[in-house]
């Protein structure tokens, strides 16, 4: 019988769902706060405190840029909020630079205290929440410049593999010239735009299916 | 513009998002086609600072509490590779699992099997410069679930990898050899038959530690690089 060591089956390890019980293993306290020192992101109500082994929040230094809060809910086909999903984000800093060795643009400043990566479990009401800074613009294909955006991964029970989408911001005029939004059918683009709900606060709901199904990408 | 070459797309061995035999996928999978986009700097970069995010390694899941957990001690080792068999060094592998009786330390797991106060089931390892990792835990049990009549999940351990880029993210589960439940598990069977064995670990006497723990090998393969350098894909 073949197994993972058999040369004839070598290839990408297949995706499998995170299932419903990932909370003590993946989203650490503070995972959804990219700028502060709060403990948002984890769901420690779902297991005994002496089984909390993940990272504890540390206070972050001063991160440059406009602080923003992004909240939203994750919905299934019937519009029912999903309480056992997890959202991951990946973004550039306010100067438009990624905290990654593969972003070699040394002319742009790195924030030593900004990793650009976050995780938020959804609450019992299906809501996630991130505290971060608004990302700067980054290059797109060819000589284009992308509008400010955040890459998003959606995980959960019933999601065999990650769904990938993006958050854009409704108050960014550059959305009109964004090379990725341009690839999305016009009538569905609004599913990728976070609504501004106040000073520095945005709402971005994610519909896995149904009337306003969010656009998901093949990357 | 970045000269980072693009990563390969998902191969034919990846499962679909909709697999009706796994009932929860029906209302939680998109119906619209995915929009294919070129990999930009956003997708070609990823968080390297796993230690600042998550903390240091937790490679022995049997020594996280006052006493030792109940169950068969096992050591799992392997290599994280890309599709060109290049090692993926310094990347984080997050681990979570149920206990030897098949029970998760989770409020929503209400199956009537014992909780082990000495076992959480969460760990984390970092690959070395050859992409190798190793951790010690106890063998997880099988457990029933509500998907269909008499449904049982095969024993499995959950793994989460970031890899070098947003595009290389992987969350999977691996299974144990000769487990008759794999063939009748809708989650494992969402993966095409030709690729299903990629999720099965191999018993290995070399990894087995004398008088201590049985050893298993599980290599994890992330997306490789496209042959041609990244350029405008449109």
Q: pLDDT tens digit string along A28-55?
A: 999 999 998 899 999 999 999 999 999 8
B68 falls within a domain: yes
What pLDDT is stored for residue B50 in this prediction? 82
Q: Which residues of A touch B233 (CB under 8 A)?
A: 141
Question: pLDDT tens across A121-147, in order?
Answer: 999 999 999 999 999 999 999 999 999
Note whether A3 contacts B202, CB cutoff 8 Å.
yes
Q: Which residues contact B6 (CB under 8 A, 6 or more apart)?
A: B38, B39, B44, B167, B225, B226, B230, B233
Nearest to B28 among A5, A53, A156 (CB): A156
Cα separation, A191 vs A213, in Å, equals 7
| Closest alpha carbon to B50 in A96, A135, A115 | A115
Q: Say if residue B169's pLDDT is above 80.
A: yes
Q: Per the CB < 8 Å rule, is B30 touching A50? A: no
CB pairs under 8 A between A and B: 295
Confidence of residue B227 (pLDDT cuts 50, 70, 90): confident
Which residues contact residue B88 at a Cβ distance below 8 angstroms, ignoring those fewer than 6 apart?
B80, B81, B82, B127, B131, B163, B164, B222
Give the pLDDT confidence score for residue A36 in this predicted structure.
Answer: 86
pTM for this predicted structure: 0.97
Q: pLDDT digit string (tens) for A104-123?
A: 999 999 999 999 999 999 99
Residues of B in contact with A45 (CB under 8 A): 107
- Residue of B24, B165, B180 for testing the chain A interface, max A β-carbons within 10 Å: B24
Whether B72 shows a pLDDT value over 60: the answer reads yes
User: Does B3 map to a domain?
Assistant: no
The answer to whether residues B46 and B164 touch, using CB atoms and an 8 Å cutoff, is yes
Of the candidates B120, B188, B200, the beta carbon closest to that of A51 is on B120
Output the CA torsion A207→A211→A212→A213 (10° steps): 50
Which residues on A lie below 8 Å from B83 (Cβ)?
11-12
Measured between beta carbons, the chain B residues lying within 8 angstroms of A216 are 30, 32, 34-35
What pLDDT sits at residue B3?
Answer: 61
| The pLDDT of residue B233 | 47
Q: Chain A residues with CB inside 8 Å of B36's CB?
A: 183, 217-218
DSSP of A160-200: SS-EEEEEEETT-GGGGG-TTGGGS-GGGGGGGEEEEEETT
Is residue B11 one of the residues assigned to a domain?
no
Q: Residue B193 — φ and ψ, nearest 5°?
A: -50, -40
Can you give the CATH number for the domain in which B189 is found? 2.60.130.10
Residue B152 has pLDDT above 90, yes or no: yes
Q: Does B231 reside within a domain?
A: no
CA distance B132 to A64: 37
Q: How do residues A72-84 score in pLDDT, each as one tens digit?
A: 999 999 999 999 9
CATH fold label, A15-207: Protocatechuate 3,4-Dioxygenase, subunit A (2.60.130)
The pLDDT of residue A148:
98
Mean per-residue pLDDT of chain A: 96
- In this complex, the residue of A3, A77, A156 whose CB is nearest that of residue B201 is A3
Structure tokens at B113: 């099997």
Higher pLDDT, B77 or B53: B77
List, for residues B13-31, the tens digit of each pLDDT value: 999 999 999 999 999 999 9
Where in the sequence is the domain holding B156, given as residue range(s)?
Answer: 23-106+113-222
Q: pLDDT-based confidence at A184, cuts 50/70/90?
A: very high
Q: Distance between terminal CA atoms of chain B?
A: 16
CA distance B140 to B62: 12
B14–A102 CB contact, under 8 Å: no
Q: Which of A14, A27, A159, A11 is nearest to B175 (CA)?
A: A14
Report yes or no for ipTM above 0.90. Answer: yes
**pLDDT at residue A37, rounded to an integer:** 82
> Are residues A35 and A131 in contact, defined by beta-carbon separation less than 8 angstroms?
yes
What is the number of domains present in chain B?
1
Would the CB atoms of A98 and B194 count as touching at under 8 Å? no
Direct distance between the N- and C-terminal alpha carbons of chain A, in angstroms, rounded to an integer: 33
Read off the pLDDT of residues B73-94 as tens digits, 9 standing for 90 and up. 999 999 999 999 999 999 999 9
The beta-strand segments (E) located in A3-126 are 67-75, 85-90, 117-121
Q: Which of A11, A51, A53 sits opposite B13 (nearest CB)?
A: A11
């Amino acid at each position: 019988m073949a197994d993972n060591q058999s040369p004839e089956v070598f290839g990408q390890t297949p995706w499998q769902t995170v299932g419903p019980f990932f909370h003590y293993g993946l989203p650490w306290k503070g995972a959804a706060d990219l700028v502060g020192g709060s403990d948002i992101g984890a769901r420690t109500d779902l297991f005994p405190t002496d089984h909390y082994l993940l990272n504890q929040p540390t206070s972050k230094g001063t991160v440059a840029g406009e602080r923003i809060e992004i909240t939203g809910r994750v919905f299934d086909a019937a519009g029912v909020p999903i309480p056992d999903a997890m959202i991951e984000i990946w973004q550039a800093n306010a100067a438009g630079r990624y905290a990654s060795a593969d972003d070699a643009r040394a002319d742009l400043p790195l924030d030593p205290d900004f990793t650009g990566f976050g995780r938020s479990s959804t609450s019992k009401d299906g809501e996630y929440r991130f505290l971060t800074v608004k990302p700067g613009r980054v290059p797109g294909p060819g000589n284009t410049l992308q509008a400010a955006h955040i890459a998003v991964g959606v995980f959960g029970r019933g999601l065999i593999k990650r769904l990938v989408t993006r958050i854009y911001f409704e108050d960014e005029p550059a959305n009109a010239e964004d090379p990725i939004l341009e690839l999305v059918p016009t009538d569905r683009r609004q599913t990728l735009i976070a609504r501004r709900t106040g000073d520095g606060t945005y709402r971005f709901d994610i519909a896995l299916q149904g009337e306003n199904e969010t656009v998901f990408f093949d990357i | 513009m970045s000269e980072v070459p693009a990563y390969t797309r998902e191969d034919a061995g990846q499962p679909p998002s909709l697999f009706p035999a796994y009932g929860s996928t029906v209302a939680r999978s998109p119906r619209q086609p995915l929009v294919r986009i070129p990999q930009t700097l956003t997708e070609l970069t990823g968080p390297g600072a796993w230690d600042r995010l998550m903390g240091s390694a937790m490679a022995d899941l049997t020594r996280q509490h006052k006493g030792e957990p109940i169950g068969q001690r096992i050591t799992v080792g392997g290599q994280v590779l890309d599709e060109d068999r290049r090692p993926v060094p310094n990347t984080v592998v997050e681990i979570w699992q149920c206990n030897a009786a098949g029970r998760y330390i989770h409020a929503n797991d209400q199956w009537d099997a014992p909780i082990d106060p000495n076992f959480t089931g969460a760990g984390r390892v970092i690959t070395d410069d050859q992409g190798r990792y190793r951790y010690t835990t106890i063998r997880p049990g099988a457990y029933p679930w509500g998907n269909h009549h008499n449904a049982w999940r095969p024993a499995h351990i959950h793994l989460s990898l970031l890899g070098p880029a947003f595009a290389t993210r992987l969350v999977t589960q691996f299974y144990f050899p000769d487990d008759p439940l794999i063939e009748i598990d809708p989650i494992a069977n969402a993966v095409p038959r030709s690729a299903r064995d990629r999720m099965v670990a191999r018993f290995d006497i070399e990894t087995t530690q004398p008088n201590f723990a049985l050893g298993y090998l599980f290599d994890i393969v992330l997306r490789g690089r496209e042959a041609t350098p990244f350029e405008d894909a449109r």
